Amino acid sequence: MSIKAISEYPVEHKDRVENFNGMQVVYVLWEQHLMYCSPFALLVAPDMPLAQFFADVVAPAYAGHPDSAKLDLTKAEWQLNGAPFTPNLQASLIDNGIDHKSMLNMKTPGLTGIQGSAS
């Protein structure tokens, strides 16, 4: 049985970029590393250089994983919002096309989780 609302529900999205005081949320998922069950939601400045984002935000976020000692983010294979992505490390996040609520997937050939288990 279907249900029909008897009134309109106002929708006010609280996660708009305007509500983050000049910052933006970027999601990052390390594929085949399911010790982290979902992407990290990272709050960052859009003008942060990508190299700094990798070094100061992404690497520390994954530092607890045993594979992190071998992790070289500059050699990872990247996807941005589901499409192949080649990062420009000197450019900012926004200049790389990484905007509010973008999804970065990283694949690291040769690193396949704890004892190869994808975890």
Give residue-wise pLDDT tens across range 74-108: 889 999 999 999 999 999 999 999 999 999 999 99
Single out the residue of 62, 31, 50 nearest to residue 88, CA to CA: 50
Q: What pLDDT does 41 receive?
A: 97
**Cα–Cα dist 78/45, whole Å:** 20
Mean predicted confidence (pLDDT) in 15-37: 94
35 in Cβ contact with 111 (< 8 Å): no
Type and span of the H or E element at 28: strand 24-30
- Every domain of the chain and the residues it spans: 20-116
Mean predicted confidence (pLDDT) in 12-36: 93
> What six digits make up the tokens of 37?
């069950």
The CATH superfamily holding the domain 20-116 is: Phenol hydroxylase (3.10.20.560)
The pair phi, psi for residue 92, each rounded to 5°, is -75, 170
